[in-house]
Chains A and B, each alone.
Chain A
Amino acid sequence: MKIHAILLAVLLAVPLLPGMTRAAETGQALKADVLRSTPYSDARTTGAIVRGETLQILAKKGAWLNVKTAKRASGWVRLLSVRRGTAGSGSPARGVLDVASGRAGTGRIVATTGVRGLNEEELKGAQYNAAEVKTLDGYAQTPKQGEQFARRGGLRAVKFAYLPEPRGKGGRR
């Protein structure tokens, strides 16, 4: 009983500790895919993942993630086949925080939430700000300045066609 209580306390505390969140990155397979020995599409297959499976993410290289499954299979899988989700980030931690701060259900509205989001009423009531538009104009770059900036970073324009719409998905849905 006591052990359970301690375990629970640890579980609740972990998401609250900043910096620990990166330690155990997990993800979830968005679709079935194969694991490969190296991050190349023609590399040897080392295993497979099924949709919804939880994966441990070990490394990232370009379009590939090195992952490990619960069954200890490991290998490289395409980045887009996995939804990355770090244990302790996002809403779970938030939920715990809300409970801890008494924000959940006590009616105590806490100002620490800070900034409110941009909401519909706020946007609707927004008034044209001529001074800011002018300031924005002042930062504009010419096409030539854009090129010079790219060159300084070693960027080179590449010919590449727009990606076609996936087949069988024509029109609005």
Chain B
Amino acid sequence: MKHLRMLGFLLGLLLAVCVLPAEALDLGETLKGVVTGGTAVTTGKTGEAPPKAEAVPGEGQPAFSLKSPSQEQEIEIGREIAGNLLGAAPLVGDAALQTYVNQVGRWVANQSERADLPWRFGVIESEDINAFAAPGGYVLVTRGLYRRLENEAQLAGVLSHEIAHVVRSHHLKILKQSQLLDIGAGWVGKRVGTDREILRKVIGSGAEICARGLDRSAEFEADRMGVALTVRAGYEPYGLPEVLQTIGQTGRDESRVALLFKTHPHPDDRLVELDEAIGNRLDAVRGGKTLGNRFYRLKP
């Protein structure tokens, strides 16, 4: 029994999104002043092989700058990341499910400052417990996480957390910093053909950005905003904390939470942070709905 309890102690935490460690952030910060003015690569001959290393700083027009990307560019970046992630884990082949998560997600996103983005939500084929956001309004939840949800308010809570990452451009900030790091590494200025190729340089290979973590404060912020968005959408406010509690019961050593636990603070820490932020602020919130009846359940 004692043994069980000790192992219970090791039970872990929650929701994911893609990005980089804190040290890299600071380095990015220092480089920011050095490399500005959109040095980010010029278009040259298409079809040229991607550069290996050693590069001469280019002098052409910036074809793609992350300094202040337009909304179109932001969506383009997100689309590339989402498309790569879908290459690793395709959509669950259940149109009713996908439509349902888009309905819930769209309604929640309507309550944010970025209701104008073309939001897209999806459930992907993975038994991992995780969720991902990419710039421009892409949100993907794993089947493994969806399976653990009990009602619409909890789904709204999960999507709200991811929506918050998009609204605050958390991933874009990380990309800017890593782009600067790459410039430091010397690839920039090499002429690399199309915008698409440049985009790939910025993002890195495949969906590797999803295997990195945002810094802890970004996760805590997304939790706080997530609860607020859930409330704004008229749901019972505790959808997200409940999911965090559920995930916290999953053993740390289980492979299905390995990535999530690697990229996020422990669920206990997130709950404690949320508790402090909430205080008595939710006491006056009445009439929030859970909508367990309407919740779309996966076929076994």
Contacts and interface: CB of A to CB of B under 8 A. Distances in A.
Contacts of B217: 171-173
Interface string B120-161: 111000111010000000100010000000001000000000
Interface stretch (B48-56, B65-73, B174-182, B250-258): B250-258
Given A124-B208, A139-B120, A162-B224, A115 B127 contact: yes
B277 A163 contact: yes
Nearest to B291: A153
Contacts of B5: 54
A32 interface: no
B256 A117 contact: yes
A126 to B, nearest CB: 4
B87 A128 contact: yes
Contact of B106 (A92, A122, A133, A143): A143
Interface string A78-101: 111101111101111011000000
| Majority-rule SS of A interface residues | loop
Contact of A123 (B208, B257, B281): B208
Interface residues of B, number: 105
Nearest to A116: B255
Interface of B: 1, 3-5, 7-8, 10-11, 22, 25, 79-80, 82-91, 95, 98-99, 102-107, 109-111, 115, 118-122, 126-128, 130, 138, 142, 152, 204-208, 210-211, 215-217, 220-221, 224-225, 227-228, 231-238, 241-242, 245-246, 248-259, 267-268, 271-278, 280-283, 285, 289, 291, 294
21 contacts: A62-B238, A78-B275, A80-B274, A83-B268, A85-B8, A85-B248, A85-B249, A90-B11, A90-B251, A91-B10, A91-B252, A119-B259, A123-B208, A136-B82, A140-B102, A145-B106, A146-B110, A153-B291, A163-B225, A163-B277, A164-B224
Given A123-B208, A123-B211, A140-B102, A84 B227 contact: no
Contacts of A120: 208, 211, 259
A18 interface: no
Nearest to A151: B107
Interface string A55-87: 000000011000000000000001111011111
A136 B122 contact: yes
A32 to B, nearest CB: 12
A147 B234 CA distance: 12
